[in-house]
Structure 1
Amino acid sequence: MDYSTSVDAECCHRMRHLATELSRTQQALRSALRLRRNLMLTTQMSIPEYTDDKSIMQRGYVEGSKASKGSDTKEWGGRVALWGVVPLWRASPPPDTILTLRTPTPSDCWPFSGSYGEVIIELAHKAKLNYISVEHVRPDTARSAPKNFVVYGIFENNTRLETARGTYTYNKPAKQYFPLSDRNLPVKSVAFKVLSNQGNPKYTCVYRVHLYGSDVNKQKLLL
């Protein structure tokens, strides 16, 4: 076989492979842009005013937590990768978005596929928790908002204890508080499991989930 012919064939093969991977990357980028537009369209409404329950806030906002998706949960959008290998950027905000204290704006949320999913909130220290708050933008119109959910306290041996079942109601304030049971039992993390949403069949958007309680190590309220 002529050496130059084999080199040319190999180069052509590699070029076709690169062109195919480039096309896949472009499709992924277009999907990411469509995701952003969809999130904006489903929540593109003015944000209602709400007032925090001061008696709950005074119990202490738990700081320093981290969030990650549950094992049976698929993120909506995920990551965009070059050639399917090299990660470029996230097509949607990360789970930690739900823990931020900034006022939520449309698409500033963590989305997951479907209406059933879970996020794990890992505490910086063991804490005794009293309340959990769930917040969305325009819950009266956003079908992607969570609806029914269950909260589990997770102990050091990774056993779970159900501490609350609640319903995020569309005709109430954007930020809603729910009491937790077994408040004297310190936990190391919390599982927030969404059982259904307000009607969006494709994805659910979790904007903010905040925990309130006291740090066991410091023995004082987390303010």
Structure 2
Amino acid sequence: MSRPLRELLHAMRHTGCALQQPGLTKGQALDELEAKALSWHRGKHATDRAEGFHRLTEGRLQIAHVRSWPAIKDLSRSFPRLIAERRFHCLDNMVLLCPEAHDLYDGTGMFSTGLMQTAARLTWAHPGARGPLLQYLHATVEARSGHQTENTNLLMAAEYLRHDHSTDVQLIVRAFEARCRIAMEAVERGDHTKVHRGDVAVFRMPRWAPQ
């Protein structure tokens, strides 16, 4: 996982455990066990807030993945390993969970994948996500050669900002597209010094190969 992505997730800690997002259960068909587990989980966090422990809770948040690494590798078996890694660390495949929620999801399967997908989506729509997403975009676009680029996450972050935060990021996206053009031109010349490490596997794929 790149440094900009880690910093983005760290900056999102103030939004709390992803299962506390408002509107999480809207349109969700929870079974009885899942509903009880979620009720218990929310009650626990309500108690923490009432006792003034919410800051401590933020410090305990863990990075969780909606789909496991084996599942992502299976979905990506026709592509280079780096593509699977990008899918695994995609914004909509990651959520910040308290240790208890993380254990209930990974350890017991108490919470459904659908619920976690909604939690991930709502995390980036949270009003507090605007600043961290903008900072992430700038850090990713301005990275020098050798940095692992995250094309999917950059474009996804831009879409979250446009759709959920009414923020125009076309200048940033155009800067990123310009960098990609420079990289492709370098590949065509056989010059890999201008190619970011995260792009190499993509450019080696047959459908991206220069004609």
Report the TM range for the smaller structure's normalisation: under 0.3
Structure of greater relative contact order (alpha carbons < 8 Å, 6+ residues apart) = 1
Structure 1 or 2: more strand by fraction? 1
Larger Rg computed on CA atoms: 1
Higher helix share: 2
TM-score (norm 1): 0.26
